[in-house]
Chains A and B, each alone.
Chain A
Amino acid sequence: MPSKILIVDDEINILMSLEYLLKRKGYEVFIARNGQEALTLSQEKKPHLVLLDIMMPDVDGYAVCEKLKALRQPPKVIFLSAKSKKSDIEKGYEVGADQYMIKPFSTRDLVTEIKTLLNPSL
């Protein structure tokens, strides 16, 4: 049974690329274009891991993360953001993120991180 990953970003190119990449790696992938959509999908599909952008219209990534972590089975969360300030990163961990990656990031690192988070025993 493949792990479920939700990708949340308003940048269509990034969204599509990540979806393509992770599907090819064998994950079950869902995508959301904004925060609200992400929350609805999370409750519905119960992903194991969420890749979350911060700067989005309507609900921002921090608020989404807090709500995700409040779920009965909180998913692992990796922030993928162009926000590179130290204070932004700290805030990301404060709201419960498991990892924070600054755009542009390496897909290889991302895949490693995802594997690590989804199989802690490894």
Chain B
Amino acid sequence: MLWPLIAIALFYLAFLFGAAWLFERPQAQKLNQKWAPYLYSLSLAVFCTAWTFYGSIGRAVNSGLDFLLVYLGPTLVMLLWWPIGRKLLFLKQTHGISTLADFFAGRYGKDVRMGRLLAVLSLIGIVPYISLQIKAISESFAYLAQLPAQSNSYIWGDPGLYITLIMAIFTMLFGTRYIQANRPKNGLIATIAAESLIKLLAFMLVGIAAAYAIIDSESLGEAVQQLASAPPTYRASEWMAILVVSGLAFLLLPRQFQMGVVENNSEANIKKSLYLFPLYLLLINLFVLPFALGGSILSAGQNSDYFILSFTRATSGEGMAVLAFLGGLSAATSMIIVSTLALGNMLSTYLFIPRLTRSKDRSVAGSILAAKRWAIALILLLAYGYYHFLNPNSQLVSLGMVSFVAMAQFAPAFLGGLYWRKGNRRAAFTAILTGFALWFYFLVFPDLVYTYSPGLLASNPWWSPALVASKMNFSLLTAAVFSSLSTNILVYWYLSHRGNTKVTEQNQAELYVSAYKFRKYSETPSLYQGSAAFPDIESLLIKFLGQSQTRQVLDAYSLEQSLDWNKEPVVDSQMISFAERLLSEVIGPASAKIMIGSVVQREELSLGEVVNILQESQKIMELNKELSQRSKQLKEATQDLKAANSKLVEFGHLKDEFLYTVTHELRTPLAAIKMQAEIIHDDEEMPEADQQQFLNNIIKDCDRLTRLIGNVLDLEKFESGSQKLSLQRINVNNLIAEVAEAFKARALKEAVDFKADISTALPTTFADADRIAQVLTNLLGNAFKHCKSTSGKVRLSAYVLDRVLKINITDNGPGIPEQDWELVFDKFYQVRNQTRKKPSGSGLGLAISKNIVQMHGGQIWVEQAPKPPGTRVCFTLPLYSTPQALTETKKEAAKLKSTLN
């Protein structure tokens, strides 16, 4: 059945190309979007390779249920896939990550060496694995076609070769469609998903058939018993090791990173996969069970790797066997395609493209695509060569596990890179190398020795990894896993705590670990201060993206940012960051940094500065808010100032007016004096009696002038605050009596009815006796002046109420109109109110009295006389038992006043 099988295989491969082409078409865009979560979940099943298809069954046949661990690991990792996968998706979108190597290079300081290490080690770890897939295809084909065992010399008769070639073409066609390696490739995704579906369906059908076959078997019960009671072949430590390693491999295998991160474009896909992918694993493993049972019944020393084929053919016929073969083919091809693509991108980015960046060509976009294709061809060539010439004879499972352990060495630096700021490049580099050295020693070295120099270990038994492992009481695999990973972690941790990291590294660590802070690339802080000429950036983009793509992205960018390149020949740091990301997608972050650095005059910012910039943009917003608030306050302040100014102007006017009034009041007596003196002087015949009269008048006017000047000075002292009270304990009764005594004579002379009714003994208080006497004199003087000219009446009364002394002075004059009750205490009130009777005083008495009373903490006011008309002026004096009490009260009053103002 050679030719039908060839036809079927070719038909299947044609189907793959067809599916890829169909889904790649722009018309399929809607369909792709609609099915994206399912396609994504299925494409994650690229994890299940020919190893799953053939190896698991081989394993189950030989050792029972151990194989489940390899799927339990990824299932556990899926529990954490939401935070991890989402963060990786974010990083991919914001930093243009296309491979695991890009992640490492980007995270650890945009360093080419880091990417190169990842590329080379991945190559070493994965190429044998790919070659095993080729081997699985070849051998399963040979088995079904009943060809003779492969002879190494007859290469052209090997179906594996042709499959490899076809895979190379497929990968180049559908994997390198875009120069940007991280752009989702719909055809590829759909094909891988379809292959996952095919292998699941094939497995289920074949498994159901197998189940039917063994259910009739008489020895079923015996087989179940045997399976259940079979002693586990692995010890607990080994179970643990397999669980850990398969979980980590699920994260870090290049093909998993490719399908799980690089080809993903939406968080929704991740969400769906959280349960769909574990479900897939459950289903595919469920149907291993019949084989595990059937194996113990029917196996008879056959190659257990291809047991599924022999068993299916024996129990369900040729057709089912072909179906099983197709399942295996789909598993192997999907693994080959995706692994090769991922490795090819790493290899071209870190080994080929750095050379291209030195090219003087205007555009190397074509060369980049070529480099990617050459890398794919090279990898498949290596894989085929490894299979064909070294012909590894290990079982699929064990070789797959070796590959897993290799990939697990990336885990500490990977997880540390995602979540630990301190993790640095030197630590990551050294840790990975150390881990790989141990991996090599335990898992590769023994095979090499066995193959090339079997006697070596016998003569030097202490070199033997097996001996070391047995000393640790571990199997070789367990020893390899635990020693390599623990050393790896230790080195990473230790070196990360030591030594200084460069600025770029710190920045990158911050950007990766705090990925979500920077939601959009344009929002990420520019890590450089500097600018570049637009033509330089443009030609750089053209060089790596090609003319048309460059036009496209620049047009889109200028539209989004509303920029005009013709008007703005210098690009800012944001544009530079944008260009750098575009380049990263094509040539990786490390080369992109170098290329951008070649055209940009820039200064890298320290982490502190980046954080500052972040905070500054925050601050600027706050500042803006504060500014508008300030300007509002300023406006208010201006208004206040205006008001204050007009008040000042008013004060100025008042001052001028006061001065003018004072001079006016001085001029009047002065005029009289001068006039009289001149008259006496000029009139030689003036009678002596008249002369005496004039001289007398002059003396009176001089007195008046003196009084006026004294009052003005007094008032000035009170108002400027330089007037001090000389406080002493006074007897209010005595004080009033003294002042009243002076007025009694005047009352007699002017026939005024004057009484000072102080019936009770008033308490003593602290006050300035002279000043209080001045107030009483002023008020009494006014009362005498303004009382009725005939039968005038003046009364003085005083009493204490609530520790406050109140003194009233009442006359029976015409009274003061109510609207003037407050104004009378103004300076020269009477002068400015010319309609009133001209005073014979200075016009300052009440103003001075008011000042004195207030200085004592009291109040002065005019109120209605008990029997109108008439005037009553009242003032109060709080009673103080100590001089300090007065000071206190005044302070409080001042405080109250300032708060009121």
Contact = CB atoms under 8 A, between A and B. Distances in A.
Given A55-B831, A57-B836, A57-B838, A13 B697 contact: yes
A60 B836 CA distance: 11
A103 B670 contact: yes
Given A57-B834, A57-B835, A57-B837, A108 B682 contact: yes
A107 B672 CA distance: 10
A64 B672 CA distance: 22
B663 A56 contact: no
Nearest to B686: A24
A3 interface: no
A104 B682 contact: no
Using C-beta atoms within 8 Å of the partner chain, give the interface range for chain B: 20 to 34
Contacts of A20: 679, 690, 694
Contacts of A24: 683, 686
Interface in A51-105: 55-58, 60, 80, 82-85, 102-105
A82 B229 CA distance: 134
Interface in B659-679: 660, 663-665, 667-676, 678-679
Contacts of B660: 85
Interface residues of A, number: 27
Contact of B664 (A55, A57, A105, A107): A55
A28 interface: no
Contacts of A60: 834
A17 B667 contact: no
A16 B663 CA distance: 23
B49 to A, nearest CB: 111
B696 to A, nearest CB: 10
A46 B665 CA distance: 31
B701 interface: yes
Nearest to A59: B835
Most buried by A among B675, B834, B837: B675
Contact of A13 (B665, B667, B682, B701): B701
A110 to B, nearest CB: 8
B159 to A, nearest CB: 123
Given A13-B697, A55-B834, A82 B675 contact: no
A113 interface: no
B671 A14 contact: yes
Interface string B92-133: 000000000000000000000000000000000000000000
Contacts of B838: 10-11, 56-57
Contact of B672 (A14, A106, A108): A14
Contacts of A82: 663-665, 667-668, 671
A10 B671 CA distance: 13
Interface of B: 660, 663-665, 667-676, 678-679, 682-683, 686, 690, 694, 697, 700-701, 831, 834-838
10 contacts: A13-B669, A13-B700, A17-B697, A20-B679, A20-B690, A82-B671, A105-B675, A106-B674, A107-B674, A108-B678
Interface of A: 10-11, 13-14, 16-18, 20-21, 24, 55-58, 60, 80, 82-85, 102-108
5 nearest interchain CB pairs? Answer: A103-B671, A82-B667, A104-B671, A13-B672, A104-B674
